[in-house]
């Protein structure tokens, strides 16, 4: 697992729970400390809810190892997944180095960047936040993706307890293209003073049976992540995906959602206030 941010830790948590030995590569000591604490909270919560025994949680914790650089990881892992920020140059560089480790399956957790632009034999493995709750795994195949990789990705999904869909490689794929359109319009409605963030979210939850409103979801995903996705889709599809000024302003202020404690909502200890 390359990257110990929100998505990387979620994937590592699920993979360790499924019996994989997980090697997490993260260059930032601060991120590693935060990731360790997040995993501790997740395991404690699973035990408290009766979903795991204390013994199982302890054993899952022993399956995760931490590395400062990909060079420290042994060659030939079953799966490598990158979950670094949504920047094409960064993902290309990370995946090129990862390919040198000769994994059986090399996946990117990108939610918007075309898989074909990321390197040969890379497949999209788009997980959803929070990974331990959301059952979907979006498998993204480029024109040259062989059926062996698709089969391997489906097998991974099954082992992780995910229900996969297979989509064609286009910017935004299926889920991000639809989800970001709703999220951006909700942000524009806040800009226009249509209603409060809480009432806009409530409208979608009660009126359309969404489990979570688009603005709370934006806080969970990260406003910076959504901004990166919007810019990628704007470049691909034109001005209908132009990021709202409010989104850009909040990101500039460092109000990135749950991970910073402030976004469209206030957050304390990971809980919306």
Note the pTM of the prediction, 2 decimals. 0.84
pLDDT at 69 (0 to 100): 97
The number of beta carbons lying within 10 Å of the beta carbon of residue 265 is 20
pLDDT at 223 (0 to 100): 96
The number of beta carbons lying within 10 Å of the beta carbon of residue 222 is 23
pLDDT at 171 (0 to 100): 86
pLDDT at 100 (0 to 100): 97
Nearest by Cα to 183 from 205, 195, 201, 209: 201
pLDDT at 41 (0 to 100): 95
pLDDT at 19 (0 to 100): 96
Q: 3-state DSSP call for residue 144?
A: coil
pLDDT at 221 (0 to 100): 87
Phi, psi of 187 (to 5 degrees): -65, -40
Residue 150 structure tokens = 């698709």
Mean pLDDT by 10 residues, the chain (273 residues): 96 97 96 95 96 95 97 96 93 97 96 90 94 96 94 98 96 91 98 98 97 95 92 93 98 96 94 91
Phi, psi of 65 (to 5 degrees): -120, 155
10 Å CB burial of residue 4 (0-12, 13-18, 19+) is: buried
Alpha-carbon dihedral of residues 115, 142, 175, 194, nearest 10 degrees? 60
């Amino acid at each position: 697992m390359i990257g110990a941010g929100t998505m990387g830790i979620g994937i590592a948590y699920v993979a360790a729970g499924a019996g994989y030995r997980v090697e997490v590569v993260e260059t930032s000591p601060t991120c590693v400390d935060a990731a360790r604490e997040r995993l501790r909270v997740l395991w404690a919560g699973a035990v408290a809810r009766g979903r795991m025994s204390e013994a199982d949680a302890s054993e899952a914790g022993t399956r995760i190892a931490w590395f400062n650089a990909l060079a420290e990881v042994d060659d030939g892992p079953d799966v490598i997944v990158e979950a670094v920020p949504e920047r094409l140059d960064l993902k290309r560089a990370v995946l090129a180095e990862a390919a040198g480790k000769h994994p059986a399956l090399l996946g990117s957790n990108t939610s918007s960047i075309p898989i074909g632009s990321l390197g040969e034999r890379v497949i999209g493995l788009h997980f959803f936040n929070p990974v331990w709750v959301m059952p979907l795994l979006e498998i993204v195949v480029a024109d040259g993706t062989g059926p062996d990789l698709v089969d391997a990705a489906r097998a991974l999904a099954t082992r992780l307890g995910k229900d996969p869909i297979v989509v064609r490689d286009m910017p935004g794929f299926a889920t991000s293209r639809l989800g970001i359109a709703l999220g951006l319009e909700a942000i524009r409605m806040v800009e226009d003073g249509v209603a409060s963030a809480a009432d806009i979210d409530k409208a979608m939850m009660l009126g359309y049976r969404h489990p979570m409103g688009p603005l709370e979801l934006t806080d969970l995903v990260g406003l910076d992540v959504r901004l990166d996705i919007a810019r990628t889709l704007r470049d691909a599809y034109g001005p209908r995906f132009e990021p709202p000024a409010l989104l850009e302003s909040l990101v500039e202020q460092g109000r990135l959602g749950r991970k910073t404690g402030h976004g469209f909502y206030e957050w304390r200890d990971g809980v919306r206030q």
